Amino acid sequence: GGDFNQKIDYVFKVVLIGDSAVGKSQLLARFSRNQFSLDSKATIGVEFQTKTLVIDNKTVKAQIWDTAGQERYRAVTSAYYRGAVGAMLVYNMTKRQSFDNMARWLEELRGHADKNIVVMLIGNKCDLGNLRAVPTEDAQEFAQRESLFFMETSALESTNVETSFLTILTEIYRIMC
C-alpha cells in the first residue's frame, strides 16, 4: 500500500505469541488492514504483515509475525523469535487457561529472544466483558512483576488495538534509536 517510494528509517520485528484462538491473527488483521473475521481459518498461513508508521518524524516499518497455527508448547521455532525487538503475549480474557499459560510463553520467549526485547501482555476479547475469566488486577499484577506493558483489547471492536501496537513500537523506538 503506502510503502511505495517511501524511505524507511527502521524496521522493527514484533512477534505475536500465545495460545491458539486467543485472537492473535485478528489483532494483526485489525492493526495492519483494519479487518476482522469471525472465521479464524481466514488467516492461516500468513507469516507476517507490515505496517509503516511515523514515530518522532522517522518512518518505521513494523513487521508483525504471526504463529500461523504453531501454538503448541515448544512448537514455535527459534527462527520465529530471531531478530525480534518486540513481543506481544496474547491471552483471551474469557479463558483463564490462556492467561495461566502466559508464564510459560514468557519463559519460552526469554529463552529464545534478545534480552532487551520489549514485551507487552494483551488481554484480548474485552468486548465479551460478561464472560470475563481474568480480572484486570491479576493481569496487571503479573505484568508488573515481569516488567511487561499491559493492555486489554478487542480486535472485534477495535478497542486499544492501534494504541497497544503504537505503545510497543514507540517503546522499541525509545530503546533502540
List of residues contacting Mg ion (CB under 5 A): 24-25
- Considering only residues 69 to 108 of the shown chain, the ones binding ligand GDP according to CB under 6 A are none
CA distance 132 to 93: 6
By the rule CB under 6 A, 20 interacts with ligand GDP: yes
Residue in this structure with the C-alpha cell 513481543, named with its chain if needed = 87
By the rule CB under 6 A, 123 interacts with ligand GDP: no
Q: Are 14 and 51 in contact (CB under 8 A)?
A: no
Name the burial class of residue 23, with classes exposed (0-12), middle (13-18) and buried (19+) by CB atoms within 10 angstroms of its CB: buried
By the rule CB under 6 A, 11 interacts with ligand GDP: no
By the rule CB under 6 A, 26 interacts with ligand GDP: yes
By the rule CB under 6 A, 130 interacts with ligand GDP: no
Helix (H) or strand (E) holding 54: strand 48-55
By the rule CB under 6 A, 25 interacts with ligand GDP: yes
CA distance 99 to 101: 5
Nearer to ligand GDP, 55 or 62 (CB): 62
Q: Where are the alpha helices (DSSP H) in the chain?
A: 24-33, 78-81, 96-100, 102-112, 136-145, 161-176
Which of residues 117, 134, 139, 156 is near ligand GDP by CB under 6 A?
156
Nearer to ligand GDP, 124 or 164 (CB): 124
Q: Are 102 and 96 in contact (CB under 8 A)?
A: no
- Report CA torsion sign: 156, 158, 164, 165: positive
Q: Which residue is nearest to Mg ion (CB)?
A: 25
Which of residues 9, 10, 11, 40 is near ligand GDP by CB under 6 A?
40
Interacting partner of 127 out of ligand GDP, Mg ion, none (Cβ under 5 to 8 A depending on kind): ligand GDP
Q: How far is the CB of 131 from ligand GDP (least distance, A)?
A: 9
What residues line the site for ligand GDP (CB under 6 A)?
Answer: 20-26, 37-38, 40, 124-125, 127-128, 154-156
